[in-house]
Chains A and B, each alone.
Chain A
Amino acid sequence: MKRKLLVTLLVGSMLTAAACSDSKKDSGSSGSPVKAAWIYVGPTNDGGWTTAHDNGRKAVEAALGSKVLTTFKENVPEGPEVAQVIDDLVKDGNKIIFATSFGFGDAMLAAAKKYPDVKFEHATGIPNDAPNWSTFYGAGEQSTYLAGMAAGKATKSNTIGFVAPFPIPEVVRHINAYTLGARSVNPKATVKVVWINSWFDPAKERQAAESLVSGGADIIASGGDSPAPGDAAKAAGVGWTGYDSDQGANYPDVWLTAAIYDWGTYYTKEVQAVIDGTWTKGDYYGNIADGFTTIAPYGKRVDDATRALIDAKKADIIAGKFDIFAGPINDQSGAEKVAAGKSIDFGEQMSIQWFVEGVDGEIPA
């Protein structure tokens, strides 16, 4: 009760202060919408990562209507330009800024210190003590495991090709999960990895997919941001699991499924908190149980039996009955790395630098 009174007093005094000063400046006062902004490294129509985030932004608009005014900056290069983009967004009155590429981290953190009244949220970022700083991401490995199951069932050559962006723990984790999923339904399946050293490079992604197909892969898996591997799959008539974004409608003949993220729900919650003045810093790691990660609707290449199998596994993960990284797990040499009854703990998952058995490829130094 006492606390409520305090809050009321605080809000009251703030409103008075706002009324006394230039009321136009204060976008937090009721009536004028709160401004929220997104900074993307790629174009909003990349058909993957950035498209998914921008759909999240649109979900915020749909959910909060006139209470919010959103904007975005796309194709922002990582470098000295980022600081200027943020300055510009703050000048425009944005109260919360989301950045969706790891490379924006330094500029975002510097801005968080420069503008204490603005909230900064960094996807896949690194936690920091700054009070107006949050990071958010989620267990894509769980949904990737399920996508791997679809691939394992669909492959006839037992060779799956994975178009991998960067040799970093996040991607290694996803490739491992995908391989474990594929081999859980098809122990003979192997996953060939090609690194492209880019998040978004349609030409390279497509080339990598083509080289994997010519190397015998009859299922292609995307780990990057664009649907270009889907084009290669379409040309070669092989199956495809996407990433980040549901492309089933655009690639009906080759589509299996994809690991996707529900950014919209998270974004809506955060922007709502800014509107309410209840925003707190956090380091969110969503999962399949809270709906943050999931898989896209199946394509026609996934038969009914496989769908039932995957759905059952998904239900087990949600119910906490199944841990995708539960042992026994062997490494590439076939030696046991995780014993039965053990698992790969969260800390190791976040820094993992070894491939499980069944992955055909290596992690560069």
Chain B
Amino acid sequence: MIRLERRASFPKWLGWVIPIASIAAALVAGALLILVSGNDPLTTYSRILDRAFASGEALSATLIAATPLLFTGLAAAAAFKMGVFNIGGQGQFVIGTVTAAWTGLMWGDSLGKAVIPLMILAGVLGGALWAAIAGVLRAWLNTNEIITTLMLNYIAANLASWLIFNSRSYWRLLSGSGLQFPQGRRLPEGSDWPDLSLGSLVLPCGLLIGTAVAVGCWALYRHTRFGFEVAIISDSPEAAAYAGMRTKRKVLAVIALSGGLAGLGGAADVGNFRHVLDPKGLNQSGYGYAGIVIAALARLNPIAVVFVAVLMGGLSNAGRSLQGPDFPAGLVGTLQGMVLFFALGGEVLARYRIRRTVRIPEGVAV
């Protein structure tokens, strides 16, 4: 018999040996896979580095891919930290794009760049209120939030889709190419979120905001009374209630915070990149679901979420660069999956040790 046993103490050296070993194992296993598929592992790996991280241009593209993932990763981490399983990052992100796009369309022309804080506010509020629906249900009616947040994703996706495809809404372009194919109205160009250029490296405004927010989340959970209560409630809701903590309100607050973070990501997506409400593209991207994986890989640490998001952004960016006639998209997906599998596997090894035990049959004299 092999069984897992929780480590009583966590030796310091394991903290860096295990991540390095996981990545090395993933690289070796990946190399085997690449070999079997008839490609050269070294060329493949150097191409991943080259197209995802090695130059200013490549890194800029990676950061664009990482920005939405950063927000949905933070959103998932913020909720999971208290054992509230908000699977609704995708829907909250979409609602954030809807409210932020509305704000941008409404005041983008008159306010110019000054509309950006308003868009951020609108995105946060949109995502937070959308998540609060599930929050109220969970806190006061004890409804399973995994189900409700997931279902709200579909409602949000259909709502955004209805705004563009099935109605003559404020968001929809009703002239020019909009007559040929339903699409969103472009936000006024003057209100586009600025990027920070450092030589050939371009840092999207959204990424900078997201990084600052990540630090804020870290401080909130680490150094405030709110964070302390969240930690207690996460460990034992009964004990927290006994200690006089208002657990119901806290559940609502945490899920709204989580939704607000996802909604802020939606605002960044509209302001920084798409500049239109694009339900079809959002649906295809699945940022919200990727955020859950990112939060798990980052062990719910907001600062780590930043790095994991960049890593994942780079992987998806390099993945598209790799694929072609001899390198099917499925192989790219398998490679990415392997990295995640080994990273999470390493995580298990870090927390648990493997014990071989011998079961002694009953009634046998030893």
Q: What residues make up the interface of A, taking CB atoms closer than 8 Å to B? A: 41, 43, 70-81, 84-85, 87-88, 102-103, 105, 126, 166-170, 197-198, 350-351, 364-365
CB neighbours of A70 from chain B (8 A): 325
CA distance A350 to B177 in the complex (A): 11
Q: A78-B284, A79-B273, A365-B168 are in contact. Are A168 and B329 (CB under 8 A)?
A: no
Any A CB within 8 A of the CB of B141: no
CB nearest to A69 among chain B residues: B325
Residues 53-107 of B at the A interface (beta carbon under 8 Å): 57, 61, 64-65
CB neighbours of B65 from chain A (8 A): 80-81, 84
Contact between chains at B281 and A88 (CB < 8 Å): no
Stretch at the interface among B36-44, B178-186, B291-299, B335-343: B178-186
CA distance A72 to B323 in the complex (A): 8
B64, B166, B284, B321 — most chain A CB neighbours (10 Å): B284
CB neighbours of A350 from chain B (8 A): 180
Contact between chains at A73 and B177 (CB < 8 Å): no
Any A CB within 8 A of the CB of B113: no
Q: A75-B329, A84-B61, A84-B65 are in contact. Are A105 and B177 (CB under 8 A)?
A: yes
Give 30 CB contacts A-B under 8 Å.
A71-B324, A71-B325, A72-B324, A73-B324, A74-B323, A75-B329, A78-B278, A78-B280, A79-B273, A79-B281, A80-B64, A80-B273, A80-B274, A81-B64, A81-B65, A81-B317, A84-B64, A84-B65, A102-B180, A102-B181, A103-B280, A126-B177, A126-B180, A166-B181, A166-B182, A167-B165, A168-B180, A170-B180, A364-B166, A365-B166
Q: What residues make up the interface of B, taking CB atoms closer than 8 Å to A? A: 51, 57, 61, 64-65, 161, 165-168, 177, 179-182, 269, 273-274, 278, 280-282, 284-285, 316-317, 320-321, 323-325, 328-329
Contact between chains at A73 and B323 (CB < 8 Å): yes
CA distance A87 to B168 in the complex (A): 35
CB nearest to B57 among chain A residues: A87
CA distance A87 to B181 in the complex (A): 25
CB neighbours of A72 from chain B (8 A): 323-325
Nearest first, the 9 closest Cβ-Cβ pairs linking A and B are A80-B273, A78-B281, A364-B166, A79-B281, A84-B61, A71-B324, A77-B284, A88-B321, A77-B285
CB nearest to A54 among chain B residues: B325
CA distance A167 to B180 in the complex (A): 10
User: Interface residues of B: mostly helix, strand, loop or mixed?
Assistant: helix
CA distance A66 to B328 in the complex (A): 22
A87, A88, A103, A166 — most chain B CB neighbours (10 Å): A88
CA distance A103 to B284 in the complex (A): 12
Not counting A80-B274, A88-B61, a sample of 17 additional A-B residue pairs whose C-beta atoms are within 8 angstroms of each other reads A73-B323, A74-B323, A74-B329, A76-B320, A78-B280, A79-B274, A79-B278, A79-B281, A80-B65, A88-B51, A103-B280, A103-B281, A168-B182, A170-B180, A351-B179, A351-B180, A365-B166
Contact between chains at B61 and A166 (CB < 8 Å): no
CB neighbours of A75 from chain B (8 A): 329
Q: A78-B280, A79-B285, A126-B177 are in contact. Are A84 and B161 (CB under 8 A)?
A: no
CB neighbours of A168 from chain B (8 A): 180-182
A14 to chain B minimum Cβ distance, whole angstroms, is 28
A25 to chain B minimum Cβ distance, whole angstroms, is 18
CB neighbours of B325 from chain A (8 A): 70-72
CB nearest to B330 among chain A residues: A43
A301 to chain B minimum Cβ distance, whole angstroms, is 33
CB nearest to B179 among chain A residues: A351
CB nearest to A353 among chain B residues: B179
CB neighbours of A41 from chain B (8 A): 284
CA distance A71 to B323 in the complex (A): 9
CB neighbours of A105 from chain B (8 A): 177
B331 to chain A minimum Cβ distance, whole angstroms, is 12
A212 to chain B minimum Cβ distance, whole angstroms, is 19
CA distance A305 to B166 in the complex (A): 41
CB neighbours of B274 from chain A (8 A): 79-80
State which of B282, B284, B317 has its C-beta within 8 Å of the C-beta of A84. B317
A326 to chain B minimum Cβ distance, whole angstroms, is 24
Contact between chains at A364 and B323 (CB < 8 Å): no
A84, A103, A350 — most chain B CB neighbours (10 Å): A84
CA distance A71 to B320 in the complex (A): 12
CA distance A41 to B283 in the complex (A): 13
State which of A79, A84, A364 has its C-beta within 8 Å of the C-beta of B320. A84
CB nearest to A40 among chain B residues: B329
CA distance A72 to B322 in the complex (A): 10
